[in-house]
Structure 1
Amino acid sequence: MANRGDRADAAGRPSGSTRAVDAAHALDDDDDIAADEAAALTVSVDLPAPVRVAPEEELALSIPDEPISAGQLGLVDTSTMSIEFVGTDLEGSESIDDVDDPGVLDVVPLPASDERQSRRDRMRGEVSKSPESANMLTADRLIDNRKRRRPAPEGSWPAFVYAVTLHLVNLGDSPKVRARKEIDARIDKQFEGGTRFVPVLTRKGGVGKTTITALLGMALSDVREDRIIAIDANPDRGTLSERVNKQTRSTVRDIVTQAPSITSFNDFSTMVSRDETRLDILASDTDPMLSEAFDENDYNVVADLAARFYSIALTDCGTGIVHSVMRATLQRADSLVIVSGGSVDEARLASETLTWLEANGYAKLVRNAVVAINTATQGTSLVKLDEIESHFRSRVREIVRIPYDPQLAAGSVIDYKGLRDLTKDAARRLAAIVMDGLPARRSD
């Protein structure tokens, strides 16, 4: 007999077991709805990027942040030393003991490992415990200075010994060569802060002022790598351009009239004549009427353009020291070269030139001036040159004698390489002395 509970009633309602199954399905539906609601409430959070860990080779080259004490370096025995800190009395008698929290000085010990080596240790041949980077292969670490070969010596005897010993014995340069290189180093003095102007002047004509200007410029250009120019600012028809092979007919007047169109060194170089030593010479006007018109303003135009392209500018001045060109020349001067002959009147006029300069506010230039005594003038053999030198030494910085040379006495084109050795040595010494007196740095 079937169970009464297993039969459906007459109205068609399910039995008890059927209702239990329906209830289970209802619970499953509720779970699905809850899962959907939980998924809808999910929040995404971006985690921070992982911290970069430096490799060992980078740590080997870094500087540790921990301070190093003298005791840890083994320089001081910290076991028997104590340090007492005393506060500064800022307000009344308050000391560091009265401060509520004076702080504690903690010394952090060094890392126990010896992996961080200095480059000095590695230069001694010690092997690093960590891989080295390419930056550690420096020249001072790898090159053995003991195996560097000195340059071949100059001079007859040192060169002979060097060749006979198959380059094993190097006596160095001879004294004469060392003196020459010392002069070269003085001539090749480096400057900062604009062009250096050096006027060459005297109150008397015919003492070799133009020749001294050309010699000085050639000696400078033969050694230095920068540009040197000699400007003929003689308002009475100068002859400086005749000391070199003329390559142009342009003069200072052309520079003045064409100044707005001169924008590069190539434009300027077409108006100068260049010597074999690379000395550039700017000629003066050959027409006396135009020469007299060359005044202070014209010289400033020429000097401003020369200052754009040249490191040193020599100025061959006229004999008229009261001319306006002379005023503009002296205002730009960094040093002076006063030319004197070997006769009594030539030496006296050169000294009077110094007196005029001192009386007109150029005493500083006089003290820094150099006197070049041209011994090729007439009457030199009759005077005591030592007395002339002693007189000028009391007034100027240095004196140089320019010896007689047949090529200079001709008054024509100067072949610098063909001059006598004594003449070239005097010109080089004059150039070195002039460079010594020029400021290496200048703000303007």
Structure 2
Amino acid sequence: MSDNSTLFGGDAAPQPTPVRTPAHAAPEPPRWGNPPDALTEILPLEDLQPEMSLDTPNVPAPLAGTPVPAPTRVFDDWQLSSEFEGYVPAVVELDKLETRRKTVPAKQGWRGVAHNVAGVNLAPGKDELYEMALKDRVQRMVRTTFPIAVVGVKGGVGKTVVTEVLGSTFSAVRGDRVIAVDLDPDAGNLISRHGRESALSIADLIAEGSPGRYLDVRAHTSQNKATRLEVLTGPDFARTPMPLLDKDVDAVMPILDEHYSLVLMDTGTGLKTNLMTAVLRKARALVMVSSASIDALEETQVGLDWLHHNGYQHLLHTMVLVINNVQRGKSNINVDAAVKQFARQIGRERIFVLPFDTHIFEGRQITLELLSAKTRRRYLELAAAVSELFPRPAD
């Protein structure tokens, strides 16, 4: 140890008596009279060891050669340690938990009025549930384009109206692309019942070759803004020298198959033409239309017999019969008896009697919302029956 007189000069001052600081107390800093290297005289080396932490257990070190056990895990693959033996964790089955869900409020009848006016959330009634079930059937998935031929052996039975309203019902309920094509070679008037938007026709679409984009096809069609049904009209009957031919059907259908889910084909009255042969060859379902008159029903029976004897038996199994009341007032025949007679050849669930509708009788462009509630319901039932003919995914 160095002499303080040598370090600071002058006489050496008396040295204070060393004081041992307890281990739990902070060491007192050295005084100015003591140099830093005199700290070992104030605090012995054994007192400079760090204090034992309260978090560190005072466990003696194991003896040499003694095996050290591995630490015990509390959880090992959902198994508890020996300290929790006998405890089984609870299993919660989430699929059995009951949850309170909101119900869709009624939109029709007095229940719908109560919801709109008073905000009372009432479940739909029986009639509304039936309509919802019909719409579910109409929305059945179709994995490939489904062509539907609308035919009528006698003129004036309303097959063009059936094509327009049935196509509008499909388009409004399904929401995918639905198109109706006028394939009547004798001045078909489908576009007049639908509304013209484009001046182009099926002849212009065929002349373009094979347009790859939907927008190229859409430029040739007229769309109803309310239902989004599209119509591809035939060539101008008065200004076009050549009528529609079977090769036109063979050329246009592959184009429509690329962009539309349902294709409705409005046809003429001739069954023994090359054009009708091409239509029936493409069709996967048939809607036979007759009026509620004795002569029309007799010719409809002739048409069914012709299909049966000319190789179209498969279409008889995918056919829907429509008896259309095109005249005001009561029919001069017993329609119920006619339905029972046709039910021997066609399932009763695929025969529909359409009521007379004043909006259709006007002969102008048809608006789905202006039809009577009974007419709209019949067409919804008709669309649901046709949807049952769609091929199943397993097919």
TM-score, normalised with respect to structure 2:
0.73
Cα distance in 2 for partners of 1:324, 1:248 equals 28
Cα distance in 2 for partners of 1:153, 1:419 equals 22
What's 2:222 paired with?
A: 273
What's 2:272 paired with?
A: 322
Report the Cα offset of residue 183 of structure 1.
1.0
Cα distance in 2 for partners of 1:302, 1:274 equals 18
SS at match of 2:136: helix
Q: 1:225 aligns with which of 175, 186, 200?
A: 175
Report the Cα offset of residue 300 of structure 1.
1.4
Report the Cα offset of residue 379 of structure 1.
9.0
Point out where structure 2 has 5 or more consecutive residues left out of the alignment. 1-72
Cα distance in 2 for partners of 1:280, 1:205 equals 24
**Are 1:152 and 2:105 counterparts?**
yes
Task: Tell me if the contact between 1:337 and 1:372 (Cα under 8 Å) persists in the aligned partners.
Answer: yes
What's 2:186 paired with?
A: 236
SS at match of 2:356: coil
Report the Cα offset of residue 226 of structure 1.
0.9
Cα distance in 2 for partners of 1:310, 1:244 equals 18
* Runs of 4+ in structure 1 over 6 Å off: 55-58, 111-118, 160-167
**Are 1:191 and 2:145 counterparts?**
no
Cα distance in 1 for partners of 2:329, 2:87 equals 80
Cα distance in 2 for partners of 1:165, 1:240 equals 44
Task: Tell me if the contact between 2:105 and 2:122 (Cα under 8 Å) persists in the aligned partners.
Answer: no
**Are 1:123 and 2:92 counterparts?**
yes
**One-letter amino acid matched to 1:335:** A
Cα distance in 2 for partners of 1:232, 1:255 equals 13
What's 1:418 paired with?
A: 370
**Are 1:263 and 2:212 counterparts?**
yes
Change in CA separation of 1:292 and 1:390 when aligned onto 2, cut-off 3 Å: farther
Residue by residue over 1:257-307, the C-alpha shift from the partner in whole angstroms, topping out at 9 and shown as x without a partner, is 1123x1111110110011120100110112257475421221111111111
Change in CA separation of 1:165 and 1:252 when aligned onto 2, cut-off 3 Å: closer
Q: 2:354 aligns with which of 384, 402, 407?
A: 402
**One-letter amino acid matched to 1:384:** N
SS at match of 1:230: strand
Task: Tell me if the contact between 2:328 and 2:356 (Cα under 8 Å) persists in the aligned partners.
Answer: no
What's 2:127 paired with?
A: 176
Change in CA separation of 1:299 and 1:288 when aligned onto 2, cut-off 3 Å: farther
- Give the share of equivalent positions with the same residue, in percent: 26
Structure richer in helix, relative to its length:
1
What's 1:435 paired with?
A: 387
Cα distance in 1 for partners of 2:158, 2:75 equals 72
Point out where structure 1 has 5 or more consecutive residues left out of the alignment. 1-54, 65-110, 125-139
Bigger RCO of structures 1 and 2 (CA < 8 A, at least 6 apart): 2
What's 1:204 paired with?
A: 154
Cα distance in 2 for partners of 1:244, 1:224 equals 19
What's 1:295 paired with?
A: 245
Task: Tell me if the contact between 1:393 and 1:399 (Cα under 8 Å) persists in the aligned partners.
Answer: yes
Task: Tell me if the contact between 2:237 and 2:243 (Cα under 8 Å) persists in the aligned partners.
Answer: no
1:241-260 matches, within 5 Å, as 241-260=191-210
Cα distance in 2 for partners of 1:163, 1:403 equals 31
**One-letter amino acid matched to 1:402:** L
Aligned length, in residue pairs: 319
Residue by residue over 1:18-57, the C-alpha shift from the partner in whole angstroms, topping out at 9 and shown as x without a partner, is xxxxxxxxxxxxxxxxxxxxxxxxxxxxxxxxxxxxx998
Report the Cα offset of residue 163 of structure 1.
9.4
Task: Tell me if the contact between 2:107 and 2:113 (Cα under 8 Å) persists in the aligned partners.
Answer: no
Cα distance in 2 for partners of 1:156, 1:380 equals 29
Cα distance in 2 for partners of 1:212, 1:415 equals 13
1:303-314 matches, within 5 Å, as 303-314=253-264
Task: Tell me if the contact between 1:196 and 1:311 (Cα under 8 Å) persists in the aligned partners.
Answer: yes
**One-letter amino acid matched to 2:318:** N
TM-score, normalised with respect to structure 1:
0.65
Change in CA separation of 1:259 and 1:152 when aligned onto 2, cut-off 3 Å: same
Task: Tell me if the contact between 1:405 and 1:419 (Cα under 8 Å) persists in the aligned partners.
Answer: yes
Q: 1:361 aligns with which of 300, 307, 311?
A: 311
Cα distance in 2 for partners of 1:256, 1:394 equals 42
Cα distance in 1 for partners of 2:87, 2:278 equals 66
**One-letter amino acid matched to 1:236:** D
Cα distance in 2 for partners of 1:231, 1:350 equals 23
SS at match of 2:270: coil
**One-letter amino acid matched to 2:367:** D
